[in-house]
Amino acid sequence: MVDQQQAAVFGRPHGVEGAFDKLYTPVTNGNGAKLNLAPPTPESLAEAFSRPPGAEGVRLQRPLEASGESGGASEDPLWTDTSDPWRDPAAGAVLAGPAVAPEDDETEKPKLPSGAQLSLPEVLFGRRVQPKALAMLGVVALLIGAVGGLVGWWVADTGSALTGSATISEAEAAKERPPGSLADIARRVSPAVVSLEVVKPGADSGEQGSGVVIDPQGYVLTNEHVVASAVGDAATKITAVFNDGTRTEAKIVGADQKTDLAVVKVNVTNPVVMQIGKSSDLQVGDAVIAVGSPLALQNSITSGIVSALDRPVTAGGDNGAAPVTYSAIQTDAAINHGNSGGALVDSTGALVGINSAIRSSSSDGGSIGIGFAIPSDYAIKIAKALIKDGKVKHADIGINSASTVAGSSTMGAQVRNVAPGGPAAAAGIKEGDVITKVGDHVVRDSAELTVAVRSHDPGQVVPVQLARDGALLVVDVTLGSD
């Protein structure tokens, strides 16, 4: 069933029957029935491809006689000269000769007679060549010879089989210096470390050491033994040399022989100041860097680790001076003469020690990887006292002691004599007692006793553990002052 709505849209218009093409009229038979025949040829195609007028019945191609077809007389072909391939469609493609005939190469050309050859006498004396031409030829020959000689001399003088110019490829290597690297720390701390030169009047040479700028006013912390010759001798001159080459005079503020620390002051504007760290935060194995002027080589950097902490060290005692005892940081960073008073910094570039002494097995006192530095916590405490008063007061227990011999039942500091009326006598300590502990510090020898006592302030009451006749005793001692 046909949809009425679609028939209204797609159906034939009203009153139209059959196809829409009115140009085409179906063919009908005699009974009026439509025949299903092909539509006639369009007029435009028939005009373009039909035979011209008067050519009806003419064929363009001769019929094939071999096909056996018959149908009237055969027509003459459109071509008559079968030897012309351009007129014969069945002719194969061939390569013809050149369009223009070549010239006859065998044609003999007339030969010119050869000229007479001139000999050297004829040229020179027969006037067969002009003198000017000979002169010009000689000049050209001389110039060619001179140029050749110069080239040969240059080659012989500047090169050989093994020498000559070279093309060397150079590349700028990328340098990685991240924050916290050794290069970064050295760059930041070097300006705060100075070289100290101590020279007496009329002397050609003097003492040399290092120092650390710890205050913007120009205070420099160093070792006492570096400036000892200038203490009490105003004529002795101390010169501070900064890493940029600036030289300025330094004056002694205060010196303490018992701790081997001293402070000098330089008159400079806005100096680079060392950042102060906490030596109490160090652990064995931490990375450290020593900065100073070993053997007068200014601003030298060496690196290592903390080898030990709280190492009792007794050093000095030269030229009649009393030996110095302190609790030191031991490091394997290379330290030599001239490093004294220089900085020992941690991996952040903060000051954790003042390089002071080395242990050496050689006669010249070279480094063998055992160096000692005064901890910064203790050194800054002494420096503040020197800046304030010019001197330092140390806690004293009022005894002389000696280390116990090996094999003793108790290791410690043996009391040799007791100062009358001193702190030890007031606490009941007697000669022969062996002190094994002062406060929280274990005492194994006389050096550790000195360090333990000086770690406290004068007037402080500390418990002292000692051994007497095989018994352990603890007495409270009120420390005095030296």
Catalytic choice (190, 279, 307, 340): 340
- The torsion region of residue 348 among left (phi > 0), alpha (psi -120 to 50) and beta comes to alpha
Phi and psi angles of residue 236, each rounded to the nearest 5 degrees, phi first: -75, 130
d(C-alpha 352, C-alpha 349), whole Å: 9
- Name every residue whose Cβ is closer than 8 Å to that of residue 367 and which is 6 or more positions away in sequence: 334, 335, 336, 358, 360
CA distances in angstroms from 380 to 6, 259, 262, listed in the order given:
108, 12, 11
User: Across the strands, what pairs with 462?
Assistant: 477
SS3 state of residue 225: helix
SS3 labels along 186-206: HHHHHHHEEEEEEECCCCCCC
Point out the catalytic residue in the list 210, 225, 337, 394.
225
Phi–psi pair at 44, nearest 5 degrees? -65, -40
Q: Which of 210, 256, 260, 327 is catalytic?
A: 260
- Closest by CA to 453, choosing from 475, 438, 467, is 438
d(CA 55, CA 50): 10
How many Cβ atoms from other residues are within 10 Å of residue 142's Cβ? 10
Q: Reply yes or no on whether 340 is catalytic.
A: yes
Q: Would you say 379 and 249 are in contact if contact means Cβ atoms under 8 Å apart?
A: no
Measured between alpha carbons, how far is 222 from 250 in angstroms, rounded to an integer?
12
Helix (H, G, I), strand (E, B) or coil at 153: helix
Residue 349: DSSP 8-state: S
Give the C-alpha separation, 414 to 267, whole Å: 48
CA count, 13 A, side-chain hemisphere, 1: 3
Give kind and range of the element (H or E) at residue 227. Answer: helix 224-227
C-alpha triplet 258, 260, 265: angle, nearest 5°: 120
Helix (H) or strand (E) holding 6: helix 4-10
By three-state DSSP, how is residue 476 classified? strand
The set of catalytic residues is 225, 260, 340
